[in-house]
Structure 1
Amino acid sequence: MPILRTVQKLALGILSAGITCWLTASVAAAEAIPVEAFFANPAMDKVELSPNGRYLAVQMARKDGRVMLATMDIETRKLQAAANFEDVDIVFFKWVNDDRLVFQASDHQKAPTAYGFQYSKLVAVNRDGSNFRRLHGGGFFATTRLQDSDDIFIYRPGYTIRWDFERLDLMRLNTSTGTTRNFLRPGLTHDWLIDQNNEPRVNVTVEGSKVSLHYKDDPTANWRKVHEASLFSQNTLQPAFFAPDGTLYVVARKDHDKAALYTFDPNTGRLGAEPVISLSEYDFSGTFFYDAKKLLGVRYTTDASATIWFDERMKQIQKEVDALLPATTNRITTSVRNETPYVVVTAYSDVDPGTFYLYHAGTHALDPIGKMYPAIDPKRMAPKDMVRYPARDGLSIPAYLSLPKGKSKNLPLVVLVHGGPWERGSNWGWDPEVQFLASRGYAVIQPEFRGSTNFGFKHFKAGWKQWGQAMQDDLADAAKWAIEKGIADPKRICIAGASYGGYATLMGLIKNPELFKCGVDWVGVTDIDLMYTATWSDLSEHAKTYGMPVLIGDPEKDAEQLKANSPIHLAAQLKQPLLMAYGGIDSRVPIQHGARMRDALKPVNPNVEWIQYVREGHGWKLVTTRVDFWSRVEKFLEANIGN
């Protein structure tokens, strides 16, 4: 457990001239942007208004790199340190009420443990730094909803005797006294939803292959099941939000390919006749904005982020801010009981990591708070565009394409494969990995291959049991499309990715040596069977029994297919240069995956570079690791597909 030692001297040097963030010296235009500029931790990570809108809380880096939590009275511009330590960094915070916040801390300058960084217990503190209290261990923040008391809700995971995740318990926690109240659950709960009166009223259980939605008519009533479906079926319901008027919103498909936002009547078990929000090419996923009386708006994602405001005042504020900041997407956040004319604006784009602003709706004053990555010059970044290309079977594959600044033809190309793989790999916005590669002259394509989520059920299901097969073909087809469009030089294409993306890198080199001249695999799966049999990974028995057989393949019925599509059994076919990097304490893809593949390649491929980051896990947490890894990637790509 980290020891929290408060810095006695208030270190607020990064804020000057009111609330403007200090800026790192810019890089001369003729110089290559340093690796460190892309992979440093953000100078400012989060800004949030208090529930009444009078105070601002900011999670930001000091000049020595430590991350602190500061608060400011917006009217007086008085700045105070709420949490400021010499040995740990603030990694999360949330307002509890107008005077109190809750946060977690971790030491991001030391190597993580097998399960990531070691976080402190939840800690509560007043905005002036007083009334510091460590809270309940073993839980993590869930919500505050009303933000009108000292209470918050926390989740506490429950595990089996094998330390497999089994359920998610919910507790109400008083941040001043530390007292807790537990809530009864109807089964092995995986999700809860709090209503407009700060009461848990919706519960999702997952038992075996069934996922069930449970509802309480009032806080004293018993849970009753209102919906049940099979895992991964098209008729599951995902509870989304209780509006201030009591309306329950859910995400559902209702016999359509794309999931949409609906109202749901738990008394009849029926969805609203028409969706509240439906998107023609995307599944709905979103964030809800509300005050004490009504739902203000919904933010959702298509190729980029957008917000629908139902509230006329918020519509007008969005219009005014967009006029002041026409070059960025401008995310506006308000507060639950906004008694002031202020909102926080996060302005970002594909070339701009983001700047926080404070906007006064009465005077239309827009004051900068600070930049996330002040060393990044948007003018030197590469635009990121959504494209679609046809797979060989006709399926339309979405992808993000980024081209080096001022270049568009006959370029060295990196096919960057996302992990998961059952997730959306990327969004429109600034991406450090993509921008680093583009800054070195590489075009980057990020395919949302079949099996990726957010693009409809058909697209998701098309990836079932397709590791190394149709999912892999989608990546080769991305490279072929880029060649046909004149974007990529066919002799200078590399494939790269982490986790599933690392697996796909290895399979791409094996299956398509005519396309891929080199590969970069970090923390990639090399043996599918090992995912089922390894006892030292964090994949649960439930996932191995009910999830992976559907999505990847049954380890008994599909054994031959899984073996035929495992890189470890195909190592003799991999001849191209390969950079492999693995974490020594990775519990998701244990290092045995990488080490065994390395050993299998030794007799057949002399062009394999191996890196082991002994104290890293499934991905690179430390800045020093990220800088070292991407510096190696830069040299590797230059040697194999560079100019």
Structure 2
Amino acid sequence: MLDQLIPRAHLFGNPTKASARLSPDGRRLAWLQPDAGVLNIFVAPLDRLEDARVVTNDRKRGVRFFLWAYDSRSLLYMQDEGGDENFHVYVVDCEGGAARDLTPFEGVAAHIHRTSRKLRDRVLLSINRRDKRFHDLHSADIATGELTLVQENPGFAGFIPDDHFIPRLAIRNNKDGSREILRPDAGRSAWTPWIRFSAEDSGTSSALHLDVAAKTLFLRDSRGRDKAALARVDLSSGETKLIAESDKADIGHVITDRDTYDPVAYSVERERLEHVALDDRVKADIDFLNGRDIGDWGIASRAEDDSLWIVSAQSDTRPHVDYLYERRAKTLRILHQARPQLVGAPLRPMRPVTIKSRDGLDLVCYLTSPQAAEAKAPQPMALIVHGGPWGRDSFGYNATHQWLANRGYVALSVNFRASTGFGKAFVNAGDHEWGRRMDDDLNDAVDWAIRQGIADMSRIAIMGVSYGGYAALVGLTRNPQRYACGVAVVGPSNLETLLATIPPYWESSRAQLTKALGDPATEEGRALLRERSPLHAADRLAKPLLIAQGANDPRVKKAEAEQMVAALEAKKIPVAYLLYPDEGHGFARPENALSYHAVAENFLARHLGGRAEPVRAEELSASSLKIEKGASELALP
């Protein structure tokens, strides 16, 4: 008997409760929870969670990120309009009252830079109001909203401030792809290069933070090594000391001392996440948490006195759970389960596996197989390509994997070259390899799955979001007979127009983009961009394609989808095109996510032969979905 169908709403609808955050004084807990079907911030006394009250009133996209100010009363969050990523920063009192917009500027992108124990009534914001390309630093009075300019940005990628919001260092990306850390003169009117990361190291090296005295800078540093190490640099002498390194992977998240900001632990992740203690003060805590059967975990927030931690944990067959960890008593209790409706659901285990690319690289992959795979016969498979490409796939609960496996497909994710965390040689191996060796890595993983008897070679789909959408378009045009179908969500089709239309505030990162893709300022670069753009190979596409796009996407403009659709129509090649007028780079509204997955699920069932939950008309009408092309290809109600 096959596993029961898991409702799409249980996988892709709003979580029941999520993102628990402890107030700095340790007295209150805030979290996200649906109110009238939209995620909002709820607050309760830590010892009386049943007295929770909702303190925001979002009725559009929902709150997705928030944090406490150090006054332990104010909650700060960001919200944009329709996915345009022109974020405003809002503040709301935990006792209630209307949220206030700290950045009420049209067409401006604002971000929360940091809060500070030394300036509890203020928040440091980065705002691109003066020059759309570069974010200036402003200090905002939380109570009044008054903004004070801290530092005008002359063209830097960012700043590293101290606890008093004084920028002590700046980051500059250079045209040759290198990155520099600069130091200011006394008046911060001139900046002098201090530390340089070459173009080879800039993708894996970065400044992390200052210590509390602003005398030491902590770095991820790959200079002189392949895997990024954790290092400290004395600001006076420039002396650099190694703190930690791993031959498995780059140093990842760093846990710091609450008083000094010195690193006390770090994580590395190759196939699985590992935490390593640097200080005996946290070793017992890490050992304790590692010894509990909670899966892979991380610290979501901490009380200011560090007596209480909120620990967020998940495993491949268990969605996120937020725990309260009391360090002195060594007790751990569940606060919230993100998706309690999945408790007891037939979730499938995920298997990490490392395979070799054709040129010898280790590709860390993750495989989730359907129940039918237990019969040892090859199954239909979906290759899921992550976005970025400067990101990675990881072990753990993955809604897409569980959805596909439950519908009868093997789900395979591949950390192809250019994925991050595996060292600088692996990242740099992706330069000028979009649509070529990065695609070869995906093909090598598919070949492995076929050789292992895992995948039915005649029933394989390729799908992804952002870079993953681009990879799906490449896969279908470069290897027209390899895949039975493809799904591309907010995927670039033309690398020339992609680079020509990046958001203005990405200007400081332009050199890194051209280093990887090709330089449109040179004939050689333009030729490379044209060659690697699936738009120019549209006539090779031979299998069904589903494209989905947010109309307000500032990164991958709507034109990227529409020019691909137009090129296919000109060649009389069928294509289905979904447009979401109130979305940007992906789906923030659960109604839209559910309608997309309903359409995609039935599209896959039609072309791969898997199972599908029936599409309900109200499931589509509740969203903003517009089927722009190919309605007949989808056979929807």
The TM-score by the shorter chain falls in which range?
0.7 to 0.9
Is the 8 Å Cα contact of residues 3 and 371 (structure 2) preserved in structure 1? no
Residue of structure 2 equivalent to 1:551: 516
Residues 492-544 of structure 1, C-alpha deviations (whole Å, 9 max, x = no match)? 1111122222222122122223421221122222222322445xx53678479
Moved more, 430-439 or 314-323: 314-323
Equivalent residue letter for 1:475? L
How many Å separate the matches in 1 of 2:41 and 2:202?
43
How many Å separate the matches in 2 of 1:379 and 1:218?
61
Three-state SS of the structure 1 residue aligned to 2:588 is: coil
Does residue 469 of the first structure (1) align with residue 436 of the second (2)? yes
Residue of structure 1 equivalent to 2:382: 414
Is the 8 Å Cα contact of residues 33 and 439 (structure 1) preserved in structure 2? yes
Residue of structure 2 equivalent to 1:505: 472
Equivalent residue letter for 2:41? L
Residue of structure 2 equivalent to 1:143: 114
Is the 8 Å Cα contact of residues 469 and 488 (structure 2) preserved in structure 1? yes
Residue of structure 2 equivalent to 1:227: 195
Structure 1 position 456, deviation (Å): 1.4
Residue of structure 1 equivalent to 2:23: 50
Is the 8 Å Cα contact of residues 146 and 198 (structure 1) preserved in structure 2? no
Residues 123-145 of structure 1, C-alpha deviations (whole Å, 9 max, x = no match)? 242x3226965434453211113
Change (3 A) 1:560 1:56: closer
Equivalent residue letter for 1:285? G
Equivalent residue letter for 1:338? D
Residues 190-247 of structure 1, C-alpha deviations (whole Å, 9 max, x = no match)? 2222335664322213354453212369999975431234545469852112234653
Residue of structure 1 equivalent to 2:233: 264
Three-state SS of the structure 2 residue aligned to 1:51 is: coil
Residue of structure 1 equivalent to 2:490: 523
Structure 1 position 96, deviation (Å): 1.6
Change (3 A) 1:301 1:352: farther
Moved more, 241-250 or 627-636: 241-250
Structure 1 position 33, deviation (Å): 0.7
Q: Which runs of 4+ in 1 moved over 6 A?
A: 217-222
Does residue 401 of the first structure (1) align with residue 367 of the second (2)? yes
Residue of structure 1 equivalent to 2:219: 250
Residue of structure 2 equivalent to 1:282: 249
Three-state SS of the structure 2 residue aligned to 1:183 is: strand
Residue of structure 2 equivalent to 1:12: none
Q: 157, 161, 164: which is aligned to 1:194?
A: 161
1:558-573 mapped onto 2 (5 Å cutoff): 558-573=525-540
How many Å separate the matches in 2 of 1:235 and 1:628?
36
How many Å separate the matches in 2 of 1:445 and 1:402?
7
Structure 1 position 186, deviation (Å): 7.3
How many Å separate the matches in 2 of 1:47 and 1:545?
36
Residue of structure 2 equivalent to 1:335: 302
Change (3 A) 1:476 1:427: same
Q: 430, 444, 451: which is aligned to 1:484?
A: 451
Residue of structure 1 equivalent to 2:276: 308
Residue of structure 1 equivalent to 2:287: 319
1:357-368 mapped onto 2 (5 Å cutoff): 357-368=323-334
How many Å separate the matches in 2 of 1:78 and 1:372?
17
Residue of structure 2 equivalent to 1:638: 605
Structure 1 position 452, deviation (Å): 2.0
Q: 482, 490, 503: which is aligned to 1:538?
A: 503
Equivalent residue letter for 1:319? D
1:144-223 mapped onto 2 (5 Å cutoff): 144-146=115-117, 149-157=120-128, 160=131, 163=132, 165=133, 167-184=134-151, 187-195=154-162, 199-206=166-173, 208-209=175-176, 211-215=179-183
How many Å separate the matches in 2 of 1:316 and 1:249?
24
How many Å separate the matches in 2 of 1:510 and 1:220?
52
How many Å separate the matches in 2 of 1:450 and 1:268?
37
| TM-score normalized by the length of structure 2 | 0.84
How many Å separate the matches in 2 of 1:74 and 1:523?
41
Equivalent residue letter for 1:240? L
Structure 1 position 43, deviation (Å): 2.2
Three-state SS of the structure 2 residue aligned to 1:572 is: helix
Residue segments in structure 1 that go unaligned for 5+ positions in a row? 1-27
Q: 586, 604, 612: which is aligned to 1:619?
A: 586
Does residue 389 of the first structure (1) align with residue 355 of the second (2)? yes
Q: Which one has the bigger helix percentage?
A: 2
Structure 1 position 82, deviation (Å): 6.4
Q: 563, 566, 573: which is aligned to 1:599?
A: 566
How many Å separate the matches in 1 of 2:33 and 2:203?
43
Residue of structure 2 equivalent to 1:22: none
Structure 1 position 34, deviation (Å): 1.0
Three-state SS of the structure 2 residue aligned to 1:400 is: strand
Structure 1 position 159, deviation (Å): 6.1
Residues 466-507 of structure 1, C-alpha deviations (whole Å, 9 max, x = no match)? 122111111111110111112111121111122222222122
Change (3 A) 1:586 1:153: closer
How many Å separate the matches in 1 of 2:276 and 2:68?
25
How many Å separate the matches in 2 of 1:453 and 1:366?
32
Moved more, 477-486 or 280-289: 280-289
How many Å separate the matches in 1 of 2:526 and 2:149?
44
How many Å separate the matches in 1 of 2:219 and 2:315?
29
Equivalent residue letter for 2:38? R
How many Å separate the matches in 2 of 1:67 and 1:591?
27
Residue of structure 1 equivalent to 2:632: none
Alpha-carbon RMSD: 3.2
| TM-score normalized by the length of structure 1 | 0.84
Does residue 66 of the first structure (1) align with residue 45 of the second (2)? no
Moved more, 73-82 or 487-496: 73-82
Three-state SS of the structure 2 residue aligned to 1:67 is: strand
Does residue 34 of the first structure (1) align with residue 34 of the second (2)? no
Is the 8 Å Cα contact of residues 39 and 63 (structure 2) preserved in structure 1? yes
Is the 8 Å Cα contact of residues 239 and 249 (structure 1) preserved in structure 2? yes
Three-state SS of the structure 1 residue aligned to 2:341 is: coil
Structure 1 position 262, deviation (Å): 0.6
